[in-house]
Structure 1
Amino acid sequence: MPIHPEIAKILATLPAPPEGPLNPVAMRAGEQAQVPPLEDRTPVHRVEDTVAATPAGDVPVRIYTPEEAGSYGVLVYFHGGAFFLGSLDTHDHVARALANESGFKVISVGYRLAPEAAFPAGLQDCYGVLQWVTEQWAELNWNGKDLAVAGDSSGGTFAAAVTAMAKDDGFDAVSHQILFYPSLDLDFDSDRYASMRENAVGYGLETAGLKPFNAFYLDSGADPADPLVSPIKRKDLAGLPPALVITAEFDPLRDEGELYAERLRSAGVETVLSRYDGANHGFVANFSWIPEFYAALEEAGRFLRGRESK
C-alpha cells in the first residue's frame, strides 16, 4: 500500500536537509518548541519527575502511574533521537499512552546524550535505571514480577542492548521487551538490507542521513561491530526475554528489525513481529494521532498485559 496520506502531506512540507554539519543544540531547541503544553497532553493518573541514583550517576526519570493500585508491573522506556536528540518532554506523549494502554507504571529515562556524553554513558544510564527499579521496588510498588523495557528507534537500540547486558550479568528480572522500529545495525551498509534501498528517499528518515545523524554517537566511541552498539551482531540470542518488534513499511531500518525478530524466534525467544503498512520511521512518536498508528501503542499494551505475571 502507499504511504498513509496524512503522513504524505507532512512529508511534502519538510524542508531539504540543512547543508553543513548538524547542530545538536539548535535541533534540540527546535524539538522542544514542538512539545505541546501540559494542558493539551493526554491525562494520566499521576506523573512525577525524580532522579534515579544509579551506578552510572544520577539519572532524571519521569514516572507515569496509570491508576491507583496496590502494585504494578513496571515498563522502563528509552526515547529515540539518534542518540543526540529526544528528551523526557519530546516523548512524553508516548510514555503517557504506554502507561494508559498497559496499566504498567512507566519510567521514562532522561539518559545522557551524545556528543556531550561519550559512549557508553547513555547506555549505562538506561541499564542503571533498570537496576534502580528493583532496588526501589517498595517505593515504586513494583509487583516483583513484571519488568519490561521498551524503546523507539535508537531507544530500541538501548532496549535490545540492555536486555543483553542484563542476561550476561545474571540480572534476570527483565520479563519482556518492546522494540519500536529499532536501529539494530549501526554499520549502515545499504547493501545488507533491501529496505535501505527501497525506502532510501522520500519517507522522512533517509538512508543517506543515517551516517551523519548517528555520527555523534559513533564518533564518541561506539563501535558498530560491538553487539551493545549493533544488537543484531550478538551471536547468541537464546534466553532473552519475550519480544514485541514493531516495524514500519516505509522505513530504511525495517528489514534489520524484522531480521532480528526472526533471529530471536530461531533462538527460541517468544517473539511477536508486527509491520505497520503505510507507516514510516518514527510513526509511533510522530503520527500516533492517526488511529491506525495509535494501534501500535494499543498492541504494546496488550502485549504487556498478556504477559503479565506469566
Structure 2
Amino acid sequence: MGQTNVKILDSDTAAFLAAAHAADAPPLRSLSVADARRVIHQMAGSPPTHIDGVKSVDQQVAEVPVRIYRPAPPIAPCATVILFHGGGWALGSIETHDAMARAIAAGANACVISVGYRLAPENPFPAGFDDCCAVVRWADAGRAELGGLDAPLVVLGDSAGGNLAAAVSLWARDSGGPSIDLQILLYPVLDADPEGNFASRTAHGDDPRLFSRKDLAWFSEMYLADGRDLVNPYVSPLRAENLGGLPRALIITAGFDLLCDEGRAYHDGLIAADSASAYRCFDSTIHGFISFPDHISAGREGLALLVETIAAAPMVTAGDASNEARSGLI
C-alpha cells in the first residue's frame, strides 16, 4: 500500500542521528516503562517557563489534568488548540511537550490546552482516548471562555498523539459533536497493527537508528488489552469505512519514517471522501523531527507550517461545515 519516495537524510538529521548513536543508549523497548518515561523526560530537557510572554496554568477539566497556555497579553479571538502528546500512548506527558505548546501559543496567538491523558499499560484503550474526548467536549462547550465563541477549535497531535487527534475527530463526527474545525496530524499512527502493509514500513521499519516496527509493536501491545481492537477505527483511523464529514486536516509526515505512507494514505482517503486535507512530507528527515527544532532545520520549518496553519484558520460562523475548501499537497 502506498509508495515511498526516499531521498537522502539532510545534514542536520544525519548529525542528530550520529549523536544519538554515539550516546549508545539502549532502545526504549528494552527498558521498563518507568525507565523509558524517565529517558523521554530527560530528552525533552528543562522546558522554558516563558516564551514571548506565554503564561500557563495547570488544572483539571472533566477530571483530566491539563495545562492551558495563553499568550500575554492575549489577542482575542484566537484559535483554541487541544494538544495530545506523543509517546506511543505509554510515554510522554504535558512536560515533554511544554516547549511545543508554548511555541504554538506564541506563534499562532492561540489558547493551547495540553492534555495529560491516562497512559498505557496501566490504563489501556479506551482510557486515554476517553480522556481526550472529554477534554474536547469541555473545550467546545467553553469556547467563549477560551479562544472565543467564533474562533476555531483545533485538535493537534504527534505520533500516538496524532492517532488520538484523528480518532477523536472520527468520534466527534460519529457522535454528532463536539464540533472540531481543524485536525493537525504530525507523523501519526493511523494503523496500529505492527504488521500493516506499507512500503515505508518495509523501507524503514527495521533500521535500528529509527522508530521501528518493533517499537510500534511494543507500544501497540501496551495500548491494547484486546488485540481485536486493532481494527477499531478509534485505534486505527485508516480502518474507518467512511472518512467523509471530517474536520479539515493538515497531515505532516517524514520521508525516513515507517509511518510515512499511512499518513499519505489517510490524506488520500480524506480527499476521496470529499473531506478537506492538505499534506506535506518532509522527505529527508525522521519521525519526531518537529520536537527537535534546535537540532533539525526541518523541525523549524514544520513547526512554522503548523503555526501558520493555526493562525490562518478561519473564524467559525453558524452553519459552517468547516470543509468549504479542498486542499492538496503542500
Structure-1-length-normalised TM-score: 0.91
Give the match for residue 38 of structure 2.
29
Give the match for residue 304 of structure 1.
310
Unmatched tracts of structure 1, length 5 or more: none
Residue identity in the other structure for 1:59: V
Give the match for residue 199 of structure 2.
194
Give the match for residue 102 of structure 1.
108
| 8 Å Cα contact 2:79-2:311 kept in structure 1 | no
Give the match for residue 4 of structure 1.
10
Identity among equivalent pairs (%): 36
Structure-2-length-normalised TM-score: 0.86
Of 158, 178, 186, 1:180 maps to: 186
User: Would you say 1:62 and 2:70 are equivalent positions?
Assistant: no
| 8 Å Cα contact 1:114-1:220 kept in structure 2 | no
Instruction: Kindly indicate which of the two structures has a greater share of residues assigned to strand.
Output: 1
Secondary structure, aligned partner of 2:229 = coil
| Distance apart, 1:176 and its partner CA | 0.7
Give the match for residue 46 of structure 1.
55
| Distance apart, 1:306 and its partner CA | 2.5
Unmatched tracts of structure 2, length 5 or more: 1-6, 317-330
**Structure 1 residues 211-220 or 261-270, which shifts more?**
211-220
Secondary structure, aligned partner of 1:275 = strand
Secondary structure, aligned partner of 2:152 = strand
Residues 278, 266 of structure 1: CA spacing in aligned structure 2 closer, same or farther, 3 A cutoff? Answer: same
| Distance apart, 1:120 and its partner CA | 0.4
Aligned residues: 305
| 8 Å Cα contact 1:63-1:108 kept in structure 2 | yes
Distance in 2 (CA, whole Å) between partners of 1:120 and 1:41 is 34
In angstroms, what is the RMSD of aligned CA positions?
2.1
| 8 Å Cα contact 2:242-2:273 kept in structure 1 | yes
Distance in 1 (CA, whole Å) between partners of 2:152 and 2:48 is 31
Give the match for residue 123 of structure 1.
129
Secondary structure, aligned partner of 1:284 = helix
User: Would you say 1:73 and 2:82 are equivalent positions?
Assistant: no
Distance in 2 (CA, whole Å) between partners of 1:172 and 1:145 is 14
| 8 Å Cα contact 1:82-1:214 kept in structure 2 | yes
| Distance apart, 1:294 and its partner CA | 1.2
Distance in 2 (CA, whole Å) between partners of 1:304 and 1:189 is 34
Distance in 1 (CA, whole Å) between partners of 2:311 and 2:255 is 26
Give the match for residue 98 of structure 2.
92
| 8 Å Cα contact 1:151-1:159 kept in structure 2 | yes
**Structure 1 residues 82-91 or 143-152, which shifts more?**
143-152
Secondary structure, aligned partner of 2:79 = strand
